[in-house]
Amino acid sequence: MGLTAKSTWFGKGVAVPSASLAAPQAKTRVRSGNDTREVIESIAFAFILAFILRTFLAEAFVIPTGSMAPTLYGRCKEVTCSQCSHQFAIGASDELNRSNGTLEMRIETATCPNCRFENDVKDRPVFSGDRILVNKWTYELAKPSRWDVVVFKFPEEPETNYIKRLVGLPGEMLRIWRGDIYVRPGLDGEYKIARKDDPNKQRVIQQSVYDDTEAPRVLIDAGWPERWQGVEIPANDVSPADWKEDPAGWKADRKARSFSITGNESQAGKWLRYRHYLPTPEAWNQALDNQPMIFPAKPQLIADFCSYNHYAPMGNGQRGEPDPYWVGDIAVTGKFRLGPDAEGVEKANVIVELTRGVRVYQCVIGTDGFITLRMSDELAGEEAFRQIARSKGPVVATGSWFNLEFANFDQRLCVWINDQLVEFDAETTYAPPVLYGPQLRDLSPVGIFAQGREVDVEELRIFRDIYYRADRDLSDGRAFPDAAVSPTEYSSPGRLAALLSDPLAWGAEYEARAFAAEFPALGADEYFMMGDNSPRSQDARQWSNTRGADRRHAVPESALVGKAFSIFWPHGVPFMNDGKGYAPLPFFYHKVNKAQNPDVENYPRFSIPFYPQWWRWTRIR
């Protein structure tokens, strides 16, 4: 009979001759009644399966606002700066009435974080928020972890879902101080900084400060100083604002945006330093009008500027306040090539340096390819640098280009070479200094030093950490170290922002008038949630307590919906019609209440054709 195949009918195996599989089949009468029933059953099964998946496994959500930016975008506009070509996003949820979704105002301008030019964005396309997938079974198998991005039912309105980052665990007291999160177990012990266990998660949420590949040529050609320069640093303690350019040091190719120095030129040791020159509106007006620069440029401290929030006019009663808080946790990235040592040089070194207050942190690249991390603390009387750790093996090679990132976040130093985290022979965390405030050298917080070695570097970029603001509800958000009547970290942001070019005065003012925030210990199954966009996030710091909970800032474990794990559809990118696409029908446009907003000019809420923004289909970290 030859080979046979097995066919199963109600679980019973029946041997069928293989030849019969190809035999002609007799025509049978179509049973329309049974087919109709099968279709109905299939549809019902699909609905039941979808219900089970949605209830127990995964669910899709749309992000409406920007409280989690830049990790997740709410309704937003994407902007390419007309002066430096830097790409950034701004929140646009303020344009809509939050109760009925009608268009009630138009955002007109947005500030570029790279060059601070005010861009016209009124007619830029608007996009709905990111669409994400949430694992609903994750917390059935394991407890939530700190820094998870979590969807939960808002304790004040359980029918409303919120999405935030989990920062406080059961039983912990929490303190927000100088932009960082500190926790301790209940009333005992000391507060310790809550850093990310995985340093790669930190890279995802860091925010751009300056990208040298996108320098504003119009402004620089008009006389505004370059931020990266080869400089001579005097022996005495002179402000970086007074450092002079070193003509015998690093050579800059301003067109290629690259820097180089030969081994012979660097024998005495030469610095390439970054100074945080922030263009002002007056400087831009002078440059665009071809007028001489009459307002001198002054370097400033790096502050918690968040471009997602900087647009005009502001809606829903929001105020466009300045970002006044100094951020000392920064990172620098660049593309390097190290050449041979100069002849006759006893010690050749290449150093990447980050400063933070009284501390200096260095990443030293030796001629053997090893990396050494070291630090000094002038307040502690450390005249020489002390070693923190050394790489377990050589990580760079002479003559080859490599990407390097050196970061100082959450009292920990990290280095990546070609996007791979470098392993060291010791912990790279450190105890905080006694004095926290900024110093003069924080006006130039990043530098590259070469001695006796040929170096080429390009694609320099600087990033900063998220600054968590110590805002609070006065009912239980206690100020530290003293009682305070203001619910914000500092009551007059404009006054503090005006001192960013004077680090010592800024530090004195902050010490005298700013406060940390402390929150009572969480219960055995409670969590503390905060948004990544701290200036514009309504989170556990400020929630009201109309429900009369013992701890108004706590989210009970029973309210957790699941862990956000993926952006599966960011938004479509329109093309044609100068990148705006087309909106041929009325339903492409917003709804406008003309009786209440007669002067609002309507515009499309989406357009066609478009292609998917595939580069943001990513895992949420």
Taking only the tens place, the pLDDT of each residue in 458-517 is 999 999 999 999 988 776 655 555 555 567 888 888 899 999 999 999 999 999 988 899
Element (H, E) at 37: helix 32-52
What are 621's two structure tokens? 């970290």
Is residue 447 assigned to a domain?
yes
Is residue 220 assigned to a domain?
yes
What are 202's two structure tokens? 């930190």
pLDDT score for 43: 60
pLDDT score for 293: 81
**By residue range, what is the domain housing residue 491?**
132-206+467-567
Residues constituting the chain? 621
Q: 């041997």: which residue's tokens? A: 15
What are 320's two structure tokens? 């466009």
3-state secondary structure of 335: strand
Distance of CA 402 to the CA centre of its chain: 24
Phi and psi (nearest 5°) for 406? Answer: -120, 125
Element (H, E) at 139: helix 138-141
- Please indicate, yes or no, whether residues 374 and 410 belong to a single structural domain of this protein: yes
pLDDT score for 135: 92
Burial (CB < 10 A; 0-12, 13-18, 19+), residue 319, is exposed
pLDDT score for 44: 57
pLDDT score for 20: 30
Q: How many domains does the chain have?
A: 2
Q: How far is residue 312's CA from residue 281's CA, in Å, rounded to a whole number?
A: 14
- Please indicate, yes or no, whether residues 537 and 562 belong to a single structural domain of this protein: yes
pLDDT score for 17: 29
pLDDT score for 613: 84
Q: What letter does residue 559 receive in the DSSP assignment?
A: G
Which residues does the annotation mark as catalytic?
67, 164
- Please indicate, yes or no, whether residues 423 and 534 belong to a single structural domain of this protein: no
Is residue 5 assigned to a domain?
no
Nearest Cα neighbor of 115 from 202, 222, 39 is 222
Strand partners, 405: 333, 416
3-state secondary structure of 586: helix
- List, for the chain, all residue ranges whose pLDDT scores fall below the cut of 70: 1-56, 237, 315-320, 344, 346, 379-383, 475-486
Answer with the one of 549, 567, 585 that is the final residue of a domain: 567
Residues of 399-409 as b/e, b for ≥16 C-beta within 10 angstroms?
Answer: eeeeebbbbbb
Burial (CB < 10 A; 0-12, 13-18, 19+), residue 303, is buried
Answer with the one of 518, 538, 567 that is the final residue of a domain: 567
- Please indicate, yes or no, whether residues 264 and 403 belong to a single structural domain of this protein: yes
pLDDT, tens digit, 9 for 90 and up, residues 325-384: 999 999 999 999 999 887 767 677 899 999 999 999 999 999 999 999 999 877 665 567
Is residue 283 assigned to a domain?
yes
Peptide bond into 481 cis (omega under 30): yes
pLDDT score for 612: 84
Answer with the one of 528, 544, 567 that is the final residue of a domain: 567
Is residue 577 assigned to a domain?
no
Strands (E), 10-86: 12-17, 58-62, 76-80
Is residue 94 assigned to a domain?
no
What are 382's two structure tokens? 């450390």
Is residue 360 assigned to a domain?
yes
Nearest Cα neighbor of 544 from 489, 476, 485 is 476
Q: How far is residue 342's CA from residue 49's CA, in Å, rounded to a whole number?
A: 71
- Please indicate, yes or no, whether residues 391 and 477 belong to a single structural domain of this protein: no
CATH of the domain at 449: 2.60.120.560
**Which amino acid, one-letter code, is at 5?**
A
Q: How far is residue 362's CA from residue 380's CA, in Å, rounded to a whole number?
A: 17
CB 354, CB 330: distance < 8 Å: yes
- Please indicate, yes or no, whether residues 192 and 216 belong to a single structural domain of this protein: no
- Please indicate, yes or no, whether residues 403 and 387 belong to a single structural domain of this protein: yes
- Please indicate, yes or no, whether residues 367 and 397 belong to a single structural domain of this protein: yes
Is residue 578 assigned to a domain?
no
CATH of the domain at 160: 2.10.109.10
pLDDT score for 42: 53
- Please indicate, yes or no, whether residues 221 and 233 belong to a single structural domain of this protein: yes
- Please indicate, yes or no, whether residues 385 and 306 belong to a single structural domain of this protein: yes
- Please indicate, yes or no, whether residues 523 and 437 belong to a single structural domain of this protein: no
- Please indicate, yes or no, whether residues 202 and 246 belong to a single structural domain of this protein: no
